[in-house]
Amino acid sequence: MATYKKTDAAIARLSPEEYRVTQQSGTERPGTGALLHNDEAGIYVDIVSGEPLFASSDKFESGCGWPSFTKPIEPLNINELRDTSHGMVRTEVRSTHGDSHLGHVFPDGPTDRGGLRYCINSASLRFIPREEMEAQGYGDYLNQVEDI
């Protein structure tokens, strides 16, 4: 089983925007994320630790301006925390092992798929295409990724 953790080397590889989002709990501007319109089959992992977070088969177009998912691929890799910043109460989503700020989860997702919308910053994610998952150590998740 793979070990996922935050390292100084991983932090050093982050772009200024990736650092701002993941380490300083920032938010990328809506509609600007590189993965917003990605429709390839594969998984999304934490850009810092590499821990598996979301499957392409759980991604949907919500119209909010950020990649949206109905559920995590590995629930134990997601921490949900109360966020009272900006004068509102929300639920922040952070990776368990990398402690990266990912985004927020809202109860306005597709009702037929559980009703949740994980609204995630592209800057916190690295996409692994389905055909590269085995080689990159994510073969255990192939059965959770449907061909698109």
If you classify domain 8-144 with CATH, what class do you get? mainly beta
Residue 60 and residue 56: Cα distance in Å, rounded?
A: 8
Tokens matching residue 128: 């692994």
Query: Does 64 qualify as catalytic in the annotation?
Result: no
- 11: Cβ–Cβ under 8 A, 6 or more apart, which residues? 19, 23, 48
> Among 148, 127, 98, 116, which residue's Cα sits nearest to residue 33?
127
Residue tagged active-site, from 35, 119, 123, 145: 119
Residue 141 and residue 58: Cα distance in Å, rounded?
A: 13
pLDDT values of the chain reduced to their tens digit, one per residue, 148 residues: 578 999 999 999 999 999 999 999 999 999 999 999 999 999 999 999 999 999 999 999 999 999 999 999 999 999 998 877 777 778 999 999 999 999 999 999 999 999 999 999 999 999 999 999 999 999 999 998 876 5
**Pairing between strand 117-120 and 101-106?**
antiparallel
User: What is the pLDDT at residue 89?
Assistant: 75
The structure's pTM equals: 0.93
